């Protein structure tokens, strides 16, 4: 079996904007050696060759800062009139299934992905979407992941395309851009220019009425065929959280 990693490394990156900064403190082996001595074990009773153990502390990392999966709770406190699921409440059987890549690398920055874009891709490549699949939207914008402008560029999903995927029986979908919608600064700018309150976060807000999860900041989708693989996207079990980092992997025989 071939396993392909679709998750970005979790590490400090000075070019990330402040809301994506990750800070991890790495503690060397020798620190633990002195801790054990202070706790009362004499050096002469340490195992031969023992130098202590390494340890690490995540000092700062938002649940949306790296490759992650958003829970329905992220979009709104309720979904279709009922309490929305937090990430620890998302059924794990949603998070494993047959994968399909929808190639949208031809889409220009700020040009939303439509139902027509998706159906035309499927027709051209003689593919179909089946209930329970995990749908991956490839935009190629992961090439900018780790740069200061990552969140300012790219295409994104329209509300209608998001709703259409949910209506096909899709519970989990994902994208290799910073966010599921068009870039946040662009959406804010257009909403202010037009006075249209429906422009902002339109794809996310589909989740107010239709239950689904999406992944953001996927990487390495170029390594996948369009179909013929499984996807696993198991989030950390953070109680009450709106999202969680996930190690997203594809598996092919």
Contacts of 162 (CB under 8 A, 6+ apart): 173, 180, 203, 206, 212, 214
Q: Which helix (H) or strand (E) holds 121?
A: helix 115-124
β-pairing, 78-79 vs 82-83, is: antiparallel
Length of the chain: 253
| Residue 245 pLDDT | 98
Q: What is the dihedral of CA 223, 226, 228, 230, to 10 degrees?
A: 70
Q: What angle do CA 240, 152, 105 make, to 5 degrees?
A: 95
Domains assigned to the chain: 23-60 (no CATH), 68-252 (3.50.30.50)
| Residue 37 pLDDT | 75
| Residue 61 pLDDT | 96
- Are 219 and 39 spatial neighbours (Cβ–Cβ below 8 Å)? no
Q: What is the pLDDT along the chain (253 residues), one digit of tens a residue?
A: 999 999 999 999 999 999 999 999 999 888 877 767 777 878 777 788 878 888 999 999 999 999 999 999 999 999 999 999 999 999 999 999 999 999 999 999 999 999 999 999 999 999 999 999 999 999 999 999 999 999 999 999 999 999 999 999 999 999 999 999 999 999 999 999 999 888 889 999 999 999 999 999 999 999 999 999 999 999 999 999 999 999 999 999 9
CA Rg, the chain, in Å?
21
Classify residue 253 as exposed, middle or buried by CB count within 10 Å of its CB (0-12, 13-18, 19+). Answer: exposed
Distance of alpha carbon 4 from alpha carbon 223, whole angstroms: 7
| Residue 163 pLDDT | 98
| Residue 75 pLDDT | 97
The pTM of the full predicted model, rounded to 2 decimals, is: 0.94
CA 45 to chain CA centroid, Å, is 47
């Amino acid at each position: 079996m071939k396993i392909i990693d679709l998750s970005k490394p979790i590490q400090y990156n000075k070019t990330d904007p402040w809301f994506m900064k990750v800070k991890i403190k790495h503690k060397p082996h020798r620190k633990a050696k002195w801790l054990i001595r202070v706790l009362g074990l004499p050096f002469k009773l340490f195992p031969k060759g023992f130098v202590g153990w390494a340890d690490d502390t995540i000092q700062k990392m938002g649940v949306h800062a790296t490759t992650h999966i958003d829970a329905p709770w992220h979009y709104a406190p309720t979904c279709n009139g009922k309490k929305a699921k937090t990430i620890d409440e998302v059924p794990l059987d949603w998070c494993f299934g047959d994968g399909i890549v929808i190639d949208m690398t031809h889409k220009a920055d700020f040009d939303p992905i439509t139902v027509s874009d998706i159906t035309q891709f499927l027709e051209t490549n003689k593919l179909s979407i089946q209930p329970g699949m995990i749908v991956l939207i490839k935009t190629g914008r992961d090439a900018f992941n780790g740069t200061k402008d990552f969140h300012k560029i790219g295409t994104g999903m329209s509300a209608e395309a998001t709703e259409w995927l949910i209506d096909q029986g899709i519970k989990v979908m994902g994208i290799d851009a910073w966010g599921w919608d068009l870039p946040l600064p662009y959406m804010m700018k257009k909403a202010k220019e037009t006075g249209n309150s429906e422009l902002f976060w339109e794809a996310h807000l589909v989740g107010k009425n239709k239950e689904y999860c999406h992944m953001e900041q996927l990487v390495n989708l170029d390594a996948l065929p369009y179909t013929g693989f499984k996807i696993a996207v198991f989030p950390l079990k953070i109680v009450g959280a709106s999202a969680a980092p996930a190690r997203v992997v594809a598996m092919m025989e």
